[in-house]
Amino acid sequence: MANIYRTHNCGELKVQNINDEVRLAGFVQTIRNLGKMIFIDLRDEYGITQIVVTEDANLEEKLKDINKECTITVYGKVAKRSSKNEKLSTGEIEVIAKDITVLGKCRNSLPFEINIEGQTVREDLRLEYRFLDLRNDSIHKNILFRSKILKDFRNIMDELGFTEIQTPILANSSPEGVRDFLVPSRLHPGEFYALPQAPQQFKQLLMVSGFERYYQIAPCFRDEDPRADRSPGEFYQLDFEMSFVTQEDVFEVVEKIIPTVFKNNTSWKIDNTPFVKIPYRDAMEKYGTDKPDLRNPLTIEDLTEIFEGTEFKAFSGKTVKAIKTENMEEKSRKFFDSMSEYAINELEAKGLAWVKIDQNGELTGGISKFIDDERKAKIFKKMNIMQNSAIFFIADDFEKAQKVAGGIRIKLGEELDLIEKNCYKFCFIVDFPMYEITEEGTIDFNHNPFSMPQGGMEALTTKDPLDIYAYQYDLVCNGYEIMSGAVRNHDQDIMIKAFEIAGYTVDDVKNKFGALFKAFSYGTPPHAGAAPGIDRIVMLLANENNIREVIAFPKNKRARDLMMNAPSKVFDKQLEEVHIKLDV
């Protein structure tokens, strides 16, 4: 049976269709009344076709009921267009309307125009009327693009012999570093499910069950604050796990998945494999972050030893980091002052010191008078200083100095236009610390509590916890973490000891991770895996700066869905059913 609304879509009619009688359906993008002729641009997901109404009293009467963004179906004859529109795939033809039927009336005035170039619309308005915002060509294409990328991921995982398995959404609470979303149980008063932060325990249990290569496009839920590169509440990842593998085996799989997906969806340059591996501590020292953007050539040097014993009060007893920039002869004092303001206002630094090196190799400006000839010689040697360059100094406690230096490196790369264009640069960050000191002074897991410590039980029993590395790794692309993973701790005794160091008793482990603990008594294979982040990868490939531009129905900066008005209050009866009494 023929479709009653359309015989073709709005992007496929060409000159070979001239004189064909066709039916099209779509949204009215524009109406132009030129008196004897009325032109309608009809839009659907595939393109735009120009519709022409010529001195037809019946059709003109119908057009009185038609406005922008109505949906209509048009029956007519394809004709050659008098003036070709190079911007449209259908730009050589038009359809002379014989009949028009309104399918869906646009009854209200539009909160913003659809597909108008250059317009700026408030984000809260876009999110409230997301169903209209998604009609805009750019974001509509992003969602279609996302679908293609998901298909590519599934295809490559299938080709690599992975089995797609869905894991539960209603799960148990897990201490993975961020807050859970809790779901009260009606059948079990006072008890709660938790939406999974990741399918971590389930995928490990699948390895115990003998499924050697698992994957899924997994929804994950974390009650954390939003950022431009992080959607609040929920996100999606390509979750995968493998049995009888090491860290290097995971890297080999990742180096097949990621380049394939990127090459299928971009014309930009992509790093060759194997990707460079950078130990966590080296990344922090050299780039001031564990998410280094390798398109930026600037690096950080530690000058703490050189400034030991200095009488310069701002540097005395502090960790001193420095960044060298070249070709700075034309930069005025205003540039250096603006960098100092950025450090103080945006990075919460105490200040940003600097010096310039002139064409004679002499220090000028900034703190040059506080650097003696001996220290100058050491700095020049260590940093390979050249003429007409500059040095930016950050002095603070160790962690703050690293963080601020990382932020200054990024800002300098942007301001000096040093970031390599049209390319994706990848690196694995490896050798994460297993533990860290919390603000309360206690020892806790640094990253993922289910990771295998390097050195196993011997490391846990003989080393300072802060000196133990884990088989944990991230994949970073252009300054974004796009994947995390680890070799899993599959040994019950090592699991007990690892959690004991972080302050958990054996009973805590049994209660929190009962299924894993029990499963590890029944012959668990060594296993490892990772989880590339779908949302960030799509954001990078779509060349967007905000993750909300690649998610169909995102929440705003306050984690609120303005379109569905969620979260929202519920009726008292609903609370009673799940045994909850509010005290807000």
CATH number at residue 235: 3.30.930.10
- Host domain of residue 530: 140-277+425-551
345, 444: one domain: no
Residue 551 to residue 134: CA distance in whole angstroms: 10
The pLDDT score that the predictor gives to residue 228 is 74
State residue 550 phi and psi, 5-degree precision: -120, 15
The answer to whether position 368 is within a domain reads: yes
370, 402: one domain: yes
Of the three residues 104, 125, 156, the one that is the final residue of a domain is: 104
The pLDDT score that the predictor gives to residue 162 is 98
The answer to whether position 2 is within a domain reads: no
Of the three residues 419, 442, 467, the one that is the final residue of a domain is: 419
Domains contained in the chain, number: 3
The answer to whether position 560 is within a domain reads: no
Output the six-digit token pair for 387.
């003429």
The pLDDT score that the predictor gives to residue 176 is 55
The answer to whether position 129 is within a domain reads: no
369, 387: one domain: yes
Q: Is the dihedral of CA 123, 125, 130, 134 positive or negative?
A: negative
340, 266: one domain: no
The pLDDT score that the predictor gives to residue 175 is 59
448, 406: one domain: no
The pLDDT score that the predictor gives to residue 511 is 86
The pLDDT score that the predictor gives to residue 379 is 95
Widest distance between CA atoms in the chain: 93
Q: How many residues does the chain have?
A: 584
261, 315: one domain: no
81, 100: one domain: yes
The answer to whether position 567 is within a domain reads: no
Q: How many CA atoms lie within 13 A of 209 on its CB side?
A: 13
CATH number at residue 100: 2.40.50.140
pTM greater than 0.85 (yes/no): yes
The answer to whether position 193 is within a domain reads: yes
**Residue spans of the chain under pLDDT 50:** none
- C-beta separation of 159 from 207 below 8 A: no
- What single DSSP character describes residue 198? S
Residue 352 to residue 392: CA distance in whole angstroms: 7
pLDDT digits (tens, 9 = 90+) for 255-314: 999 999 999 999 999 999 999 999 999 999 999 999 999 999 999 999 999 999 898 999
Residue 318 to residue 313: CA distance in whole angstroms: 9
Question: Among 522, 462, 532, 464, which Cα is nearest to 491's?
Answer: 522
- C-beta separation of 244 from 558 below 8 A: no
Mean confidence (pLDDT) of the chain: 94
The pLDDT score that the predictor gives to residue 172 is 86
The answer to whether position 583 is within a domain reads: no
222, 313: one domain: no
The pLDDT score that the predictor gives to residue 224 is 84
Strands (E) located in 434-579? 435-437, 443-445, 469-477, 480-487, 527-532
The pLDDT score that the predictor gives to residue 242 is 98
- C-beta separation of 218 from 167 below 8 A: yes
pLDDT digits (tens, 9 = 90+) for 22-53: 999 999 999 999 888 999 999 999 999 999 99
270, 158: one domain: yes
The answer to whether position 571 is within a domain reads: no
Q: Which helix (H) or strand (E) holds 93?
A: strand 93-104
381, 257: one domain: no
- Strand, helix or coil for residue 460: helix
232, 187: one domain: yes
The pLDDT score that the predictor gives to residue 38 is 93
- What single DSSP character describes residue 399? H
- To the nearest 10 degrees (0 to 180), the angle between helices 137-159 and 247-265 is 140
The pLDDT score that the predictor gives to residue 416 is 97
The pLDDT score that the predictor gives to residue 231 is 84
457, 375: one domain: no
In the beta sheet, which residues pair with residue 219? 236
